[in-house]
Amino acid sequence: MADATFAQDAAVDPVQARRQSQRRTWLTRLALLLAVAGLLWAAWYLLIGRNEVSTDNAYVNAEIAQVTPLISAQVVEVRVRDTQMVRRGDVLAVLDTSNARIAVAQAEADLAAARRRFEQAAATSESLSAQVAAGDAEVTRAEAQLTAAEADLTKAQTDLKRRESLRGTGAVSGEELTAVRRAFAAAKAAASSARAAVEQARASRTAAAGQLAASEALVAGSSIDTDPAVLAAKARLEAAQLDIVRAVIRAPIDGVITRRQVQIGQRVSQGAPIMSIVPVNNLYVDANFKERQLRRVKVGMPAKVVADLYGSDVVYHGRVAGISGGTGASMALIPAQNATGNWIKVVQRLPVRIELDPKELAAHPLRVGLSTEVEIDLTSAD
């Protein structure tokens, strides 16, 4: 019985030995394969991997133009639809200009009235200048009359004194003395009247001179085209005419119409968005890299972009245009409050803008919001 068992073990041992040998061979091969893979990965990292960073958290973006009317009016015509391609200057919508035309007519009337007021002020200045000259002549005449009245008064006073000195001698009658006294009183009254006339003439001349100065201040240094009131009326007219021009809403940039929110007959308000234009020929990519990936990233470094829309068959070439001033979390509407007690560190991401080659973008158009993969070459910069 013992001999049979020994013979069976002897028969089994070669099989087990062969299996163990085969297992050792496969383990050796696996170890060699893993070692080769590790060497290949190390070589790739040393030669390539450490000189590039990549992320699939990247999306197409653009500087979208908001189309807003500059006046409030009713829409009478809409010439575009969503997804339509437009060029800069194309008419998008037309607003009613009835109120604007009335404003233009009112502004034209105000301008004509301002011109007439300036002409009237200029004519008034000439009239007042003539009145001042006439006032000077009137003062001269009144002064001459005063001189004559004072001479008459002096003569009457002399005659009166001579007659009164002869009254006691009987050479002068009472009637003659009375007539001389009456003449002296009349001369005195005439002199007083002449003085008053001089003062009145001088006051009239002063008043006319003041009115002339005030009138000349309105037109001094100005012409009918440079008068402040005329210029203000011109400005109001230009503003009213500009409102008519603004009633035709044009595309500010080249792009595709999106989110059109205006219909014929709708009254739009000044500054309220009515549609958007996406500049599909001027798109860029916002790539959100982890903070540790950005240690060596610099503005100007070349980058490759692959869009999920076309797959790896289409590769866009671009460059790093800029790095955001803050992480996405810090720019959120409600930033994270890390000062709380239950805090867990989360790797932050920082947006990096990648500008694309316009020719490649024209050959394979993209749209805002599409997913992409971005790879930045860290070995050189443009």
pLDDT digits (tens, 9 = 90+) for 116-139: 877 777 666 666 666 666 667 777
Q: How many domains does the chain have?
A: 2
Looking at per-residue confidence, does 162 or 368 come out higher?
A: 368
Average pLDDT of the residues of the chain: 81
Task: Please indicate, yes or no, whether residues 160 and 216 belong to a single structural domain of this protein.
Answer: yes
Task: Please indicate, yes or no, whether residues 82 and 118 belong to a single structural domain of this protein.
Answer: no
* Domain end call among 187, 219, 241: 241
Task: Identify whether the C-beta of residue 296 lies closer than 8 Å to the C-beta of residue 109.
Answer: no
Q: How far is CA 227 from the centre of its chain?
A: 28
pLDDT of 167 reads 63
Q: Is residue 70 part of a domain?
A: yes
pLDDT of 286 reads 94
Position 156 pLDDT exceeds 80: no
Lowest mean pLDDT among 211-215, 247-251, 293-297: 211-215
Which DSSP string do the residues of 245-298 spell out, in sequence order?
HHTEEE-SSSEEEE-----TTPEEPTT---EEEE-TTS-EEEEEEEGGGGSS--
Position 84 pLDDT exceeds 90: yes
Q: Is residue 196 part of a domain?
A: yes
Range of the domain at 113: 100-241
pLDDT digits (tens, 9 = 90+) for 349-368: 999 999 999 999 989 999 99
Q: pLDDT grade, residue 174 (50/70/90)? A: low
Neighbours of 13 (CB within 10 A): 10
**CA–CA distance, 330 with 348 (Å, rounded to integer):** 10
Task: Please indicate, yes or no, whether residues 91 and 130 belong to a single structural domain of this protein.
Answer: no
Paired sense of beta strands 284-290 and 65-67, if any: unpaired
State the greatest distance between any 2 C-alpha atoms of the chain, in Å, as a whole number: 212
Q: Is residue 40 part of a domain?
A: no
Q: Is residue 60 part of a domain?
A: no
CATH number of 229's domain: 1.10.287.620
Position 248 pLDDT exceeds 70: yes
Which residues lie closer than 8 Å to 57 by C-beta, 6 or more apart?
A: 287, 288, 289, 349
Task: Please indicate, yes or no, whether residues 107 and 146 belong to a single structural domain of this protein.
Answer: yes
DSSP designation for 58: E
**CA–CA distance, 329 with 334 (Å, rounded to integer):** 8
Task: Please indicate, yes or no, whether residues 234 and 263 belong to a single structural domain of this protein.
Answer: no
Report the candidate in 333, 284, 331, 261 with the shortest Cα–Cα distance to residue 66: 261
Task: Please indicate, yes or no, whether residues 72 and 179 belong to a single structural domain of this protein.
Answer: no
Task: Please indicate, yes or no, whether residues 89 and 129 belong to a single structural domain of this protein.
Answer: no
pLDDT digits (tens, 9 = 90+) for 38-58: 777 676 566 655 678 889 999
pLDDT digits (tens, 9 = 90+) for 205-231: 777 666 666 666 665 656 667 777 888
pLDDT of 382 reads 44
* Domain end call among 195, 224, 241: 241
Neighbours of 180 (CB within 10 A): 19
Task: Please indicate, yes or no, whether residues 149 and 160 belong to a single structural domain of this protein.
Answer: yes
Q: Is residue 138 part of a domain?
A: yes
Looking at per-residue confidence, does 113 or 203 come out higher?
A: 113
pLDDT of 225 reads 75
Task: Please indicate, yes or no, whether residues 83 and 150 belong to a single structural domain of this protein.
Answer: no
Position 1 pLDDT exceeds 60: no
**CA–CA distance, 251 with 280 (Å, rounded to integer):** 14
Give mean pLDDT, residues 12-20: 72
